[in-house]
Amino acid sequence: MYFWKTGSLVEDLKSNKVTERNFKNYYLASSLLMMISYYLAMTVPPENMTMILIEAVGSIGITVFGIDFVFKCNGGDSGSNFINKALCLSFPLMIKVFVAGFFIGFAVGIMEAASLFQQVIEIVYTGLVLLIQVIFFWRLAVHIQRVNA
Protein backbone atom coordinates (compact mmCIF):
# COMPACT_ATOMS: atom_id res chain seq x y z
CA MET A 1 0.00 0.00 0.00
CA TYR A 2 1.38 3.39 -0.98
CA PHE A 3 0.99 6.34 1.35
CA TRP A 4 2.81 8.96 -0.71
CA LYS A 5 4.22 7.48 -3.94
CA THR A 6 1.35 8.09 -6.31
CA GLY A 7 3.55 7.33 -9.32
CA SER A 8 4.32 3.83 -8.03
CA LEU A 9 0.62 3.22 -7.44
CA VAL A 10 -0.11 4.35 -11.01
CA GLU A 11 2.35 1.73 -12.27
CA ASP A 12 0.75 -1.00 -10.11
CA LEU A 13 -2.72 -0.06 -11.37
CA LYS A 14 -1.46 -0.09 -14.97
CA SER A 15 -0.04 -3.58 -14.58
CA ASN A 16 -3.04 -4.90 -12.59
CA LYS A 17 -0.92 -5.59 -9.49
CA VAL A 18 -3.49 -4.10 -7.08
CA THR A 19 -5.48 -6.92 -5.47
CA GLU A 20 -9.04 -6.87 -4.17
CA ARG A 21 -7.60 -6.82 -0.64
CA ASN A 22 -5.55 -3.74 -1.61
CA PHE A 23 -8.69 -2.04 -2.95
CA LYS A 24 -10.42 -2.78 0.37
CA ASN A 25 -7.45 -1.45 2.33
CA TYR A 26 -7.33 1.77 0.29
CA TYR A 27 -11.06 2.23 0.88
CA LEU A 28 -10.65 1.60 4.61
CA ALA A 29 -7.65 3.91 4.93
CA SER A 30 -9.38 6.65 2.91
CA SER A 31 -12.50 6.39 5.05
CA LEU A 32 -10.49 6.62 8.27
CA LEU A 33 -8.49 9.59 7.00
CA MET A 34 -11.68 11.42 6.02
CA MET A 35 -13.19 10.70 9.44
CA ILE A 36 -10.08 11.94 11.25
CA SER A 37 -10.05 15.08 9.09
CA TYR A 38 -13.71 15.70 9.84
CA TYR A 39 -13.22 15.46 13.61
CA LEU A 40 -10.11 17.65 13.49
CA ALA A 41 -12.09 20.27 11.57
CA MET A 42 -14.80 20.16 14.23
CA THR A 43 -12.31 21.20 16.93
CA VAL A 44 -12.42 24.76 15.59
CA PRO A 45 -16.05 25.87 15.46
CA PRO A 46 -16.96 28.21 12.59
CA GLU A 47 -17.40 31.86 13.46
CA ASN A 48 -18.52 33.37 10.17
CA MET A 49 -21.49 31.42 8.85
CA THR A 50 -21.38 33.31 5.53
CA MET A 51 -17.86 32.03 4.82
CA ILE A 52 -18.88 28.51 5.87
CA LEU A 53 -21.80 28.69 3.44
CA ILE A 54 -19.54 29.95 0.64
CA GLU A 55 -17.05 27.17 1.38
CA ALA A 56 -19.80 24.53 1.47
CA VAL A 57 -21.36 25.63 -1.82
CA GLY A 58 -17.91 25.90 -3.42
CA SER A 59 -16.93 22.46 -2.12
CA ILE A 60 -20.10 20.89 -3.48
CA GLY A 61 -19.54 22.48 -6.87
CA ILE A 62 -15.89 21.48 -6.99
CA THR A 63 -16.74 17.91 -5.95
CA VAL A 64 -19.48 17.51 -8.58
CA PHE A 65 -17.36 19.07 -11.34
CA GLY A 66 -14.19 17.29 -10.13
CA ILE A 67 -15.68 13.80 -10.06
CA ASP A 68 -17.24 14.32 -13.50
CA PHE A 69 -13.93 15.64 -14.85
CA VAL A 70 -12.00 12.67 -13.43
CA PHE A 71 -14.63 10.27 -14.82
CA LYS A 72 -14.18 11.77 -18.28
CA CYS A 73 -10.39 11.53 -17.93
CA ASN A 74 -10.86 7.82 -17.24
CA GLY A 75 -12.64 7.47 -20.58
CA GLY A 76 -16.21 8.26 -19.53
CA ASP A 77 -18.69 5.49 -20.26
CA SER A 78 -16.08 3.55 -22.23
CA GLY A 79 -13.50 3.72 -19.41
CA SER A 80 -12.87 0.91 -16.98
CA ASN A 81 -12.48 0.44 -13.23
CA PHE A 82 -13.16 4.10 -12.47
CA ILE A 83 -14.05 3.54 -8.81
CA ASN A 84 -11.06 1.28 -8.15
CA LYS A 85 -8.61 3.72 -9.72
CA ALA A 86 -10.15 6.80 -8.12
CA LEU A 87 -10.31 5.15 -4.71
CA CYS A 88 -6.72 3.92 -4.72
CA LEU A 89 -5.25 7.12 -6.11
CA SER A 90 -7.31 9.27 -3.75
CA PHE A 91 -5.63 7.85 -0.66
CA PRO A 92 -2.06 9.12 -1.23
CA LEU A 93 -3.53 12.37 -2.57
CA MET A 94 -5.63 12.73 0.60
CA ILE A 95 -2.51 12.26 2.71
CA LYS A 96 -0.89 15.09 0.76
CA VAL A 97 -4.02 17.23 1.29
CA PHE A 98 -3.94 16.34 5.00
CA VAL A 99 -0.33 17.56 5.19
CA ALA A 100 -1.28 20.71 3.24
CA GLY A 101 -4.02 21.27 5.82
CA PHE A 102 -1.37 21.59 8.52
CA PHE A 103 0.38 24.24 6.46
CA ILE A 104 -2.92 26.08 6.03
CA GLY A 105 -3.43 25.92 9.79
CA PHE A 106 0.09 27.23 10.31
CA ALA A 107 -0.56 30.09 7.85
CA VAL A 108 -3.81 30.96 9.63
CA GLY A 109 -1.93 30.95 12.95
CA ILE A 110 0.63 33.38 11.55
CA MET A 111 -2.15 35.65 10.27
CA GLU A 112 -3.83 35.58 13.69
CA ALA A 113 -0.51 36.34 15.40
CA ALA A 114 -0.07 39.27 13.01
CA SER A 115 -3.45 40.54 14.23
CA LEU A 116 -5.08 40.54 10.81
CA PHE A 117 -8.80 41.07 10.78
CA GLN A 118 -10.69 37.84 11.38
CA GLN A 119 -12.71 38.46 8.22
CA VAL A 120 -9.53 38.55 6.11
CA ILE A 121 -8.28 35.35 7.73
CA GLU A 122 -11.56 33.55 7.01
CA ILE A 123 -11.55 34.68 3.36
CA VAL A 124 -7.95 33.49 2.90
CA TYR A 125 -8.72 30.20 4.67
CA THR A 126 -11.80 29.56 2.52
CA GLY A 127 -9.86 30.35 -0.65
CA LEU A 128 -7.04 28.00 0.31
CA VAL A 129 -9.44 25.17 1.20
CA LEU A 130 -11.21 25.49 -2.16
CA LEU A 131 -7.90 25.72 -4.02
CA ILE A 132 -6.65 22.51 -2.40
CA GLN A 133 -9.85 20.74 -3.46
CA VAL A 134 -9.34 21.87 -7.07
CA ILE A 135 -5.72 20.69 -6.96
CA PHE A 136 -6.83 17.34 -5.51
CA PHE A 137 -9.21 16.61 -8.42
CA TRP A 138 -6.73 17.91 -11.00
CA ARG A 139 -4.00 15.58 -9.69
CA LEU A 140 -6.45 12.68 -9.47
CA ALA A 141 -7.35 13.23 -13.14
CA VAL A 142 -3.68 13.41 -14.14
CA HIS A 143 -2.89 10.14 -12.37
CA ILE A 144 -5.91 8.34 -13.81
CA GLN A 145 -4.87 9.44 -17.28
CA ARG A 146 -1.40 8.03 -16.57
CA VAL A 147 -2.93 4.70 -15.54
CA ASN A 148 -4.85 4.59 -18.82
CA ALA A 149 -1.85 5.57 -20.97
Q: Which residue has the higher pLDDT, 19 or 37?
A: 19
Instruction: Using the predicted structure, report yes or no on whether residue 81 has a pLDDT greater than 80.
Output: yes
Instruction: Using the predicted structure, report yes or no on whether residue 42 has a pLDDT greater than 80.
Output: no
What pLDDT, on the 0 to 100 scale, is given for residue 4? 87
Neighbouring CB atoms inside 10 A of 82's CB total 17
Is 87:70 a contact under the CB 8 Å cutoff? no
Q: What is the pLDDT of residues 127-144, one digit of tens each?
A: 988 999 999 999 999 999
Q: What is the pLDDT of residues 53-79, one digit of tens each?
A: 998 899 999 999 999 999 999 999 999
Instruction: Using the predicted structure, report yes or no on whether residue 82 has a pLDDT greater than 90.
Output: yes
Q: Label residue 45 by pLDDT band (50, 70, 90).
A: low
What pLDDT, on the 0 to 100 scale, is given for residue 140? 95
User: If you write DSSP's letter for every residue of 63-113 in order, what string do you get?
Assistant: HHHHHHHHHHHTTGGG---HHHHHHHHHHHHHHHHHHHHHHHHHHHHHHHH
Q: Could you tell me what percent of the chain has a pLDDT over 70?
A: 97
Please give the model's pTM, rounded to 2 decimal places.
0.80
Out of 29-33, 82-86, 107-111, 123-127, least confident range: 107-111
Q: ∠ CA(71), CA(77), CA(83), 5° rounding?
A: 45
What pLDDT, on the 0 to 100 scale, is given for residue 119? 79
